[in-house]
């Protein structure tokens, strides 16, 4: 293949970076390391600098983050939240220091050095000392409104206790929401015990916890907040960043350790070495050091470029890497039939941990990196947790080892392996694949699904391998006499398991919906579906329009739900479950008997209470809040400055009420 033109390479890089941004910011599921992402971004910056006529407003170099998720409301920042430029070595750091000094005409009065926390950047807006809004960085201008979830984090003060002269009437306090390393390991251990997928790293676990539609889930996660920046501030009561950090500490905010003000460039370099050495002893996950000009007046003079301030830089730590050899590449079958290539490695120590396996994610990644059995590869622990294959060292390759090919038949059941158009994943097409069956049964029995105590991974494997369980319904046909003959099962444990299975027959409908393993349907969506449709029969007949009218359900998720219930095999399974006595109970929140019970609401315009609070009140009274109007909508609640939804409501003859009428309905429902 010939050399790409600058325009072609720029288009390719923008596409790759946009996808990586989507996975990192929106899905919290990155597939490249920070170092790989930074290399792609650096190359794009170089090309755009050489060809300024090819720079466009939607380039990743011009945007600090990613758009807000539709599932949350959008919140606009009073001042933009910019991303920091990166320095990858001492020479680049020195260039930044000299460039800053040149821009000011003299060295700044002081620098502030801070550990670069690897978490989720958020913006907290306080008015008259009270927290009124919290939002993620988003695209830098606006982000996801996560106020309800932020209020559950104990290290975020709901009210500032400062004196009248020190507390501004309105200010944005910026910082990072993180999960400490020890809390992260404990959280993953708990999820593993419950049969839930583990989080990739502390940053992903924090992001996933923060983006829960159910604030109760967020509240149960060990989230922490560290303040590190100031946005808009009225009046401007702070003259320096160091004074701001000192004061917010008095207000009750946490400030990261190792923060300090230094005078000279030499002090900055020494601080970096000290921080790198102290890194392992911290419970916080840090991936570098941030250097900032201390004085706000000097920052104002320096200004900013398109996506970054000129007065700060992030000096990244060197990645924790090691070399090892790929001994084997195996295909692993997951719960939904996804076949993932996994590298079995010559064990190697990386950052204090022995790594012997690493996911290669998909065939596209293998081809892009040209990974083969026998290759010497560079391994990195992304976020100090995930083992990740960075690259193959071509000059160390011996001979011409064959390229890895995805098997055409499932390694577990022998069924055809297919790749659907538009997907990167290969999937097993078999309906009775043992590997899939084991994973689906384990998920069905997990604590967040049907909660069948005692039915863990090893016992599930034994039951499937012995032909005792071919689907979920078979679990309800097991008896103690049969189980006593199973490996590692005595009379007491068999009786306990039968009792636990029997108790699960009447779990709430949301549990059963979540247990079925419908693609993309997790706990929160399952609860919404249970509240909206009240029975599996009603959900099975739901039209795409009804589904997409619900908050948090888009076309892809609606299609997945419809495909599941349209499948003949799945309909047979549901009939088998019913025949086996599985009769889910109503979710307690879904049936109040009041005026709101079972009704669907759409909110528009500005209400006197936070929109998330209104949603919570409606849900508590048995109602459902949708993001768009359909013929199934019962009420449109119109606040101030209501928009185009009023016209749509008139067209569909949907009843329009104001906030006072909504509150009256809620009162009759006991909310």
Specify whether 232 is located in the same domain as 136: yes
Specify whether 213 is located in the same domain as 157: yes
What's the CA gap between 620 and 342, in Å, rounded?
45
Tell me which of 588, 605, 622 is where a domain ends.
588
DSSP 351-384: TTEEEEEEE---HHHHHHHT--TT-EEEEEEETT
Is 314 within 8 Å of 290 (Cβ atoms)? yes
Half-sphere exposure of 493 (CA within 13 A, CB side): 12
**Phi-psi region for residue 653, left (φ > 0), alpha (ψ -120 to 50) or beta?**
left
283-295 residue pLDDT tens: 888 889 999 999 9
What's the CA gap between 667 and 662, in Å, rounded?
9
What's the CA gap between 426 and 435, in Å, rounded?
15
Q: Select from 617, 596, 598, 590 the least CA-distant residue to 668.
A: 596
Number of domains the chain contains:
6
Q: Select from 228, 16, 205 the least CA-distant residue to 124.
A: 228
Tell me which of 396, 424, 455 is where a domain ends.
396
What does each C-alpha distance from 670 to 22, 156, 667 come to in angstroms?
41, 31, 5
Half-sphere exposure of 545 (CA within 13 A, CB side): 5
Q: Which CATH number fits the domain that encloses residue 361?
A: 2.40.50.140
Residues contacting 8, CB < 8 A, separation 6+ = none
Specify whether 298 is located in the same domain as 370: no
Specify whether 612 is located in the same domain as 663: yes
Q: Is residue 516 in a domain? A: yes
Q: Is residue 87 in a domain? A: yes
Q: Select from 571, 333, 573 the least CA-distant residue to 475.
A: 573
Q: Is residue 423 in a domain? A: no
Specify whether 52 is located in the same domain as 80: no
- Bridge partners of 344, per DSSP, are 328, 357
Is 78 within 8 Å of 231 (Cβ atoms)? yes
What's the CA gap between 128 and 122, in Å, rounded?
20
Specify whether 374 is located in the same domain as 484: no
Instruction: State the pLDDT at residue 670.
Output: 60
What does each C-alpha distance from 577 to 13, 469, 536, 567, 635 come to in angstroms?
49, 13, 11, 16, 36
42-56 residue pLDDT tens: 888 888 878 878 877
Tell me which of 546, 563, 588 is where a domain ends.
588
CA 233 and chain centroid, separation = 30
What's the CA gap between 350 and 146, in Å, rounded?
36
Give the chain's residues under pLDDT 50: 1, 26, 28, 64-69, 164-165, 383-384, 590-591
What does each C-alpha distance from 590 to 478, 534, 599 come to in angstroms?
32, 8, 10
Q: Is residue 180 in a domain? A: yes
Q: What DSSP state is assigned to residue 174?
A: E
| Domain housing 27 | 6-62
Q: Is residue 236 in a domain? A: yes
Distance between start and end Cα atoms, the chain: 66
Q: Select from 662, 658, 629 the least CA-distant residue to 645.
A: 629
Instruction: State the pLDDT at residue 66.
Output: 47
- The angle at the Cα of 112, spanning 110 to 116, to the nearest 5 degrees, equals 160
Count Cβ neighbours within 10 Å for each residue of 90-100 and write b for 16 or more, e otherwise: eeebeebbeeb
Instruction: State the pLDDT at residue 219.
Output: 74
Count Cβ neighbours within 10 Å for each residue of 358-380 and write b for 16 or more, e otherwise: bbbbbbebbeebebbeebbbebb
Is 361 within 8 Å of 369 (Cβ atoms)? no
Q: What DSSP state is assigned to residue 159?
A: B
Specify whether 443 is located in the same domain as 471: yes
Is 474 within 8 Å of 467 (Cβ atoms)? no
Specify whether 325 is located in the same domain as 381: yes
Q: Quick check: bond before 2 cis, omega within 30? A: no
Specify whether 79 is located in the same domain as 12: no
Specify whether 144 is located in the same domain as 277: yes
Instruction: State the pLDDT at residue 612.
Output: 64
Q: Which CATH number fits the domain that encloses residue 622?
A: 3.40.50.10190
Q: Which CATH number fits the domain that encloses residue 11?
A: 1.10.287.610
Specify whether 576 is located in the same domain as 484: no
What's the CA gap between 53 and 55, in Å, rounded?
6
Q: Is residue 149 in a domain? A: yes
The active-site residue, picked from 102, 116, 369, 438, is: 116
Within 22-146, residue ranges assigned H as helices are 34-50, 90-104
Q: Is residue 144 exposed (0-12), middle (13-18) or buried (19+ Cβ within 10 Å)? A: buried
Specify whether 142 is located in the same domain as 276: yes
What's the CA gap between 292 and 484, in Å, rounded?
67
Q: Is residue 18 exposed (0-12), middle (13-18) or buried (19+ Cβ within 10 Å)? A: middle
What's the CA gap between 671 and 669, in Å, rounded?
6
Beta strand residue intervals within 272-399, DSSP E: 286-293, 312-316, 321-333, 338-350, 353-359, 376-382, 386-392
What's the CA gap between 122 and 218, in Å, rounded?
15
116 has catalytic annotation = yes
Residues contacting 433, CB < 8 A, separation 6+ = 333, 337, 410, 412, 413, 415
What's the CA gap between 514 and 517, in Å, rounded?
6
Tell how strand 600-604 and strand 624-626 pair up: parallel
């Amino acid at each position: 293949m010939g050399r790409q033109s600058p325009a072609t390479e720029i288009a390719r890089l923008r596409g790759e970076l946009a996808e990586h941004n989507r996975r990192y910011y929106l899905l919290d599921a990155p597939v490249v390391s920070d170092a790989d992402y930074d290399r792609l971004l650096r190359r794009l910056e170089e090309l755009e600098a050489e060809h300024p006529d090819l720079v466009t407003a939607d380039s990743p170099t011009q945007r600090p983050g990613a758009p807000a998720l539709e599932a949350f409301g959008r919140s606009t920042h009073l001042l933009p939240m910019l991303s920091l430029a990166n320095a990858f070595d001492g020479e680049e750091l020195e260039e930044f220091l000299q460039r800053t000094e040149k821009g000011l005409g003299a060295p700044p009065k002081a620098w502030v050095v801070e550990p670069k926390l690897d978490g989720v950047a958020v913006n907290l807006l306080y008015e008259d000392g009270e927290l009124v809004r919290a939002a993620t960085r988003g695209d830098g201008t606006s982000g996801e409104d996560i106020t309800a979830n932020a209020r559950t984090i104990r290290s975020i003060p709901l009210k500032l206790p400062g004196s009248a002269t020190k507390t501004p009437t309105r200010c944005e306090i910026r910082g990072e929401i993180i999960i400490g390393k020890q809390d992260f390991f404990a959280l993953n251990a708990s999820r593993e015990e419950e049969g839930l997928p583990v989080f990739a790293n502390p940053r992903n676990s924090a992001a996933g916890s923060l983006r829960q539609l159910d604030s109760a889930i967020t509240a149960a996660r060990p989230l922490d907040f560290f303040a590190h920046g100031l946005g808009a501030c009225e009046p401007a009561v702070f003259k320096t960043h160091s004074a701001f950090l000192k004061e917010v500490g008095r207000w009750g905010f946490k400030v990261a350790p190792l923060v300090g003000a230094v005078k000279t460039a030499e002090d900055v370099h020494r601080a970096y070495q000290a921080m790198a050495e102290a890194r392992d002893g911290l419970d916080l996950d840090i991936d570098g050091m941030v250097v900032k000009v201390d004085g706000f007046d000097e920052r104002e003079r320096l200004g900013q470029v398109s996506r970054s301030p000129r007065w700060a830089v992030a000096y990244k730590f060197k990645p924790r890497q090691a070399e090892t050899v790929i001994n084997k590449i195996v295909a692993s079958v997951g719960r939904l039939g996804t076949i993932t290539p996994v590298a079995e490695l010559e064990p190697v120590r990386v950052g204090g941990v022995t790594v012997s396996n690493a996911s290669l994610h998909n065939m596209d990644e293998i081809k892009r990196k040209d990974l083969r059995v026998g290759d010497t590869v560079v391994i990195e622990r992304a976020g100090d947790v995930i083992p990740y294959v960075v690259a193959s060292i071509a000059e160390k390759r011996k001979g011409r080892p064959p390229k890895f090919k995805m098997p055409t038949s499932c390694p577990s059941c022998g069924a055809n392996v297919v790749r659907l158009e538009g997907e990167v994943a290969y999937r097993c097409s078999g309906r009775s694949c043992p590997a899939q069956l084991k994973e689906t049964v384990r998920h069905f029995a997990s604590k967040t699904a049907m909660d069948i105590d005692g039915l863990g991974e090893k016992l599930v494997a034994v039951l499937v391998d012995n032909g005792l369980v071919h689907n979920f319904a078979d679990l309800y046909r097991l008896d103690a006499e049969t189980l006593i003959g199973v490996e590692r099962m005595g009379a007491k444990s068999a009786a306990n398991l039968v009792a636990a299975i029997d108790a699960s027959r009447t779990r709430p409908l949301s549990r059963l919906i979540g247990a079925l393993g419908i693609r993309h349907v997790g706990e929160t969506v399952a609860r919404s579906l249970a509240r909206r449709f009240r029975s599996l029969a009603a959900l099975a007949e739901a039209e795409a329009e009804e589904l997409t009218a619900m908050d948090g359900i888009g076309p892809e998720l609606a299609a997945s739900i419809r495909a599941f219930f349209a499948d003949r095999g799945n309909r047979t399974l549901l009939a088998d479950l019913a025949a086996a006595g599985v009769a889910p109970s109503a979710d307690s929140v879904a049936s109040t008997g009041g005026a709101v019970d079972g009704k669907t609401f759409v909110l528009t315009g500005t209400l006197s209470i936070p929109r998330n609070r209104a949603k919570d009140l409606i849900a508590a009274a048995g109602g459902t809040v949708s993001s768009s109007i359909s013929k199934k909508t019962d009420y449109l609640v119109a606040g101030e400055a209501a928009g185009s939804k009023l016209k749509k409501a008139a067209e569909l003859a949907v009843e329009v009420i104001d906030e006072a009428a909504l509150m009256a309905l809620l009162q009759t429902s006991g909310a």
